[in-house]
Amino acid sequence: MTFTGWLQIVVFCVLLIGLSIPLGSYLAKVYSDQRVFLTPLLGAPERFLYRLMGVDSRREQDWKQYAKSVIFFSLAGWLLLYLILRTQTIQPWNNYGGVSFHSAPWNVTFNTVSSFMTNTNWQYYGGETTMTYFSQMVGLTVQNFASAAVGIVVAIALIRGIANRTNKSLGNFYVDFVRTVLYVLLPISIVSALVLVSQGSIQNIAHYVNVHGISGLAQTIAMGPVASQEVIKELGTNGGGFFNVNSSHPFENPNGFTNFYEMFLVLIIPASLVWTYGKMAGSRRQALAIFATMFVMFIGGVTVAYAAEAHGSPAQHAAGLHTAVVANSTGGNMEGKEQRLGIAGSALFDVVTTVTSCGAVNSSIESYTGLGGAIPFANLSASEVIFGGVGTGLYSMLEYVILAVFIGGLMVGRTPEWLGKKIEAREVKLVALGILITPLTALFATALATASAAGRASIASVAGAGPQGFSETFYAYLSQANNNGSAFAGYTGYDGTFGNLAGAHGITFADLLGAFDMLFARYAPILFALAVGGALAGKRVSPAGLGTMRTDNTTFVVLLIGVIVLVGALTFFPALLLGPIVQALTGHLYH
Amino acid sequence: MRRDLLTAARAIIVTTIVCGLIYPLVMTGIAQGIFPGKANGSLIKRNGVVVGSALIGQAFEAPVMKKGTAVLDKAGCSEWIVAKRYFQTRPSGTGAPYNDTGTLDNAESSTFSNLGPNSVLTVAIYKCNISAYLALEKPYDPGLTVAKIPVDAINSSASGIDPQISVANALIQAHRVASVRQLSLGTVDALVHKYTTGRSLGFLGEPGVDVLELNLALDRTTSRS
């Protein structure tokens, strides 16, 4: 580990805290229908979009109507994206890779469409060898915006339910959606895309470039509208790379600064939403408690991952390599890491994108050391509540808060109350289901995939030796269930070749199991979150008494961390033992 | 019900037009106007011919191929044809020994090597990379041992097209390049430092030597040998 490595991490945390507070206030204004500095510019386009969509912006929705809009909108998006991805041969901007791209097979497309719609962005395909520019822009970029906005507005609806004391309204889905895209996602994306291009990210619609290498070797360089997709991929915690190697590609992530900037884009909305919650629920101290909980767990992950990767891997040491810091080289486990990003920049990026549901990678997670690779596992096992995906992180965390309040209430023998509202059987049941559904889906799919020959067919023959094969499989379904999308990339659902995809075929078992994994673990929790919002909306508020358990002090932060770790550990520990923990503890080499 | 479905359909179409057509195309237009060089891939031309991109790693060696697969020596390692007058980039997961294709630094199909940290196969590949590195560099730098090889020279990059190597790696290769090109070590070392990109803003990321730009500078310094 180096001083500059730590400096990078510390500056990142300071900036995150510093800038998330004002953005959180801004978001609170956007969702409370107040004037913001962009209103004069965007007010007219906003009303125009409502007219185009046929939306009555004054109509309020209860939780069932809100949920219905979410489901119908998602369904329409799924169908359109499937249509786009399966008609590549008749699209404009095809054949830019030198050959005309066919569409990926139906099973791979089924997986990809479900993946982008659920904000997972799990990819069984390689971008530059499979997707036309049209599919990337008109298909995938759109779902990067839409799925992010859906996540955010569900969190906002839950907050409204928590804060609403008079009626059952959670707001209006389409109004929230349009305002999210117009006032939050698009402005930040436009500025950020230009920042990335200024550093070397590409943004063009040009043919792949043929290069005459100076030693006589030919090279073809893939092109495309990368920066515009890259920024929303980070900002919306989507994570689906334009290129196969995602943010390790120099055109997606040209230098140390862009790496830092992209990490910041990933975390800024999830962090800000915590403060937004504080504003809208009327208590900054409540938000502070949640922020502190998330931050403590985040820093723990970063420290372990950085230390593990700086130490190096058993394979390196067995080959005789020295992995200590020496003059002009950082040492460490540089397998699957880029020189310009380094160990610290890779480890931090890895933690940032796995605590959130982003799943972008700037280094190969498959090649992380056992302990370094265990951190993404741990983050996913905590069900993405450490900041988490845009919106999804906050609504999942609020469910954990209710669970902690309930457990705390049991301990002291009082009716649990939260923000003055009684937590009753209905809320606790909904919360328990909402919390358990994702781990159950992940474990069920993993068990099915490891127990069947069809599932084992996806394990990489080269890299998946010993427990690594189990780790790959487990991570695949854990990542998809949490809508993360990062991968131990040896696990595959697609045998594809470049361009015309002759002989390419998907592995139906992995494709479909993954798709159902993603869909179920996305929409069931959304429905539970909205139902909790509906249950809390309109509840009478009683003044806090002597017996009320406080939810804004250090004791509660400790209790909350305890509940999160306990639920994660009890659910996942047996499975984690079989994979990453064995590797981290033994340092064994496997055939 | 029907009205809800209709609204959903209209909403996704409007979103598609705004976020999928207007946004990326306007960004492309602006980027092409303000940063045309960077937006098109930071391409480098020499005598009017595109010879590479400043951001994309380029191979200066190739595995010996026979009937579409890499030829292996007795130890099971690939054999290489190396342009010795050039600095070499990092091992690339896009070609041998990670898979059977001969194309290193393949920038139309980027890929990770996906080598596991606890795999016997990973160790075997490292040993191949180490023996190849020693065979190439030790004749010019007799003091070189396994322990002194920087990790980035043996571990494959993430993208498979990493344009950079560590300064330590470059300073070892400088012995060979200086000798082959009949330049003084000091001249080559100075060029290495000239083409080293430092950390962004002094603390973000790690310094690295831009291999293609360094090699082009060497070509300008000496006639081809």
What gap in Å lies between CA A173 and CA A67, rounded to an integer? 8
Note whether B120 and B218 are same-domain residues.
yes
One-letter-per-residue 3-state SS of A444-492 = HHHHHHHHCHHHHCCCCCCCCCCHHHHHHHHHHHHHHHCCCCCCCCCCC
Note whether B195 and B100 are same-domain residues.
yes
- A48-58 mean pLDDT: 95
Query: Which residues of B fall within a CB distance of 8 Å from A220?
Result: 106-108
Give me the interface pTM, i.e. the ipTM: 0.96
Residue A125 DSSP code: S
Chain-centroid distance of CA B34 in Å reads: 27
**Of the ranges A375-379, B48-52, B148-152, B185-189, which one carries the lowest mean pLDDT score?**
A375-379
Closest residue on chain B to A365 (Cα): B114
**pLDDT recorded at residue B118:** 86
Residues A126, B109: C-beta atoms closer than 8 Å: yes
**pLDDT recorded at residue A81:** 97
What gap in Å lies between CA B170 and CA B206, rounded to an integer? 14
Residues B165, A339: C-beta atoms closer than 8 Å: yes
**pLDDT recorded at residue A270:** 97
Please list, in sequence order, all residues whose beta carbon lies within 8 angstroms of the beta carbon of residue A146, skipping any fewer than 6 positions away: A73, A77, A117, A177, B12, B15, B19
Residue A526 resides in a domain? yes
Residue A591 resides in a domain? no
Note whether B67 and B160 are same-domain residues.
yes
Beta bridge partners of B137: none
What gap in Å lies between CA B49 and CA A591, rounded to an integer? 47
**Of the ranges A471-485, A504-518, A576-590, which one carries the lowest mean pLDDT score?**
A576-590
- B38-54 mean pLDDT: 96
Distance from CA of A72 to the nearest CA of B (A): 6
Cα B35 to Cα A35, A509, B28: the distances in Å are 34, 45, 10
Question: Is pLDDT of B17 > 90?
Answer: yes
Which of A13, A85, A95, A215 to probe by mutation at the B interface, max B CB count within 10 Å?
A215
Distance from CA of B95 to the nearest CA of A (A): 13
Question: Is pLDDT of A320 > 80?
Answer: yes
Of B20, B93, B155, the CB nearest to A137: B20
**pLDDT recorded at residue B225:** 45
Interface of A with B in 181-220 (CB under 8 A): 181, 186, 189-190, 193-194, 197-206, 208-217, 219-220
CB of A423 less than 8 A from some CB of B: no
Residue A100 resides in a domain? yes
- What is the number of domains present in chain A? 1
Residues A213, B86: C-beta atoms closer than 8 Å: no
- B141-160 mean pLDDT: 96
pLDDT band for A152, please (50, 70, 90 cuts).
Answer: very high
Which of A311, A334, A470 to probe by mutation at the B interface, max B CB count within 10 Å?
A334
**pLDDT recorded at residue A445:** 96
A461 or A181, which is more confident?
A181
Question: Is pLDDT of A553 > 70?
Answer: yes
Question: Is pLDDT of A253 > 70?
Answer: yes
CB of A80 less than 8 A from some CB of B: yes
Note whether B67 and B21 are same-domain residues.
no
- What is the number of domains present in chain B? 2
Residues A217, B59: C-beta atoms closer than 8 Å: yes
Tell whether omega for the bond before B97 is within 30 degrees of 0, i.e. cis: yes
Residues A228, B20: C-beta atoms closer than 8 Å: no
**pLDDT recorded at residue B27:** 98
Residue ranges making up the domain that contains A465: 3-586
Of B19, B109, B123, the CB nearest to A145: B19
Interface of B with A in 205-224 (CB under 8 A): 205-208, 212, 215-216, 219
Cα A413 to Cα A410, A564, A566: the distances in Å are 5, 21, 21
Residues B116, A223: C-beta atoms closer than 8 Å: no
Which of A141, A329, A362, A588 to probe by mutation at the B interface, max B CB count within 10 Å?
A329
**pLDDT recorded at residue A413:** 82
Note whether B103 and B191 are same-domain residues.
yes
Percentage of residues in chain A with pLDDT exceeding 70? 97
- B68-73 mean pLDDT: 85
Beta bridge partners of A212: A218
Distance from CA of A226 to the nearest CA of B (A): 9
Distance from CA of B22 to the nearest CA of A (A): 10
Residues A313, B118: C-beta atoms closer than 8 Å: yes
**pLDDT recorded at residue A501:** 57
Residues B28, A209: C-beta atoms closer than 8 Å: no
Question: Is pLDDT of A200 > 60?
Answer: yes
**Of the ranges A524-528, B103-107, B186-190, which one carries the lowest mean pLDDT score?**
B103-107
Note whether B115 and B19 are same-domain residues.
no
What gap in Å lies between CA A450 and CA A456, rounded to an integer? 6
Tens digit of each residue's pLDDT (9 = 90 or more) over A211-247: 999 999 999 999 999 999 999 999 999 999 999 999 9
Sheet containing B196-197, strands listed edge to edge, beginning at the edge strand earlier in sequence = B164-165, B208-210, B196-197
Note whether B81 and B128 are same-domain residues.
yes
CB of A461 less than 8 A from some CB of B: no
Mean pLDDT score of chain B: 93
Show the DSSP H helices in A482-577 as ranges.
Answer: 508-536, 554-576
A583 or A73, which is more confident?
A73
**pLDDT recorded at residue A469:** 86
Query: Which residues of A fall within a CB distance of 8 Å from B132?
Result: none
Of A98, A334, A467, the CB nearest to B152: A334
**pLDDT recorded at residue B103:** 82
Residue ranges making up the domain that contains B8: 2-37
Tens digit of each residue's pLDDT (9 = 90 or more) over A339-358: 999 999 999 999 999 999 88
Mean pLDDT score of chain A: 92
Query: Which residues of B fall within a CB distance of 8 Å from A313?
Result: 117-118, 122
CB A234 within 8 A of CB A259: no
Residues B197, A75: C-beta atoms closer than 8 Å: no
Three-state DSSP at A325 gives coil
**pLDDT recorded at residue B223:** 60
What gap in Å lies between CA A247 and CA B159, rounded to an integer? 9
- A89-118 mean pLDDT: 90
Note whether B100 and B127 are same-domain residues.
yes
Written as six digits, the tokens of A268 are 């800024």
Query: Which residues of A fall within a CB distance of 8 Å from B19?
Result: 141-142, 144-146, 181, 186, 232
Note whether B20 and B130 are same-domain residues.
no
Residues A255, B107: C-beta atoms closer than 8 Å: no
B4: phi then psi, degrees, rounded to nearest 5: -60, -45
Distance from CA of B73 to the nearest CA of A (A): 19
Note whether B28 and B54 are same-domain residues.
no
- B27-40 mean pLDDT: 97
What gap in Å lies between CA A520 and CA A188, rounded to an integer? 30
pLDDT band for B76, please (50, 70, 90 cuts).
Answer: confident
Question: Is pLDDT of A288 > 80?
Answer: yes
Note whether B137 and B82 are same-domain residues.
yes
- A42-65 mean pLDDT: 95
CB of A316 less than 8 A from some CB of B: yes
Question: Is pLDDT of A457 > 90?
Answer: no
Residues A203, B31: C-beta atoms closer than 8 Å: yes
CB of A376 less than 8 A from some CB of B: no
Residue A278 resides in a domain? yes
Scan for tokens 């191929």, then name that residue: B65
Beta-carbon contacts below 8 Å between A and B: 425
Query: Which residues of B fall within a CB distance of 8 Å from A587?
Result: 118
B197 or A93, which is more confident?
B197
Note whether B10 and B81 are same-domain residues.
no
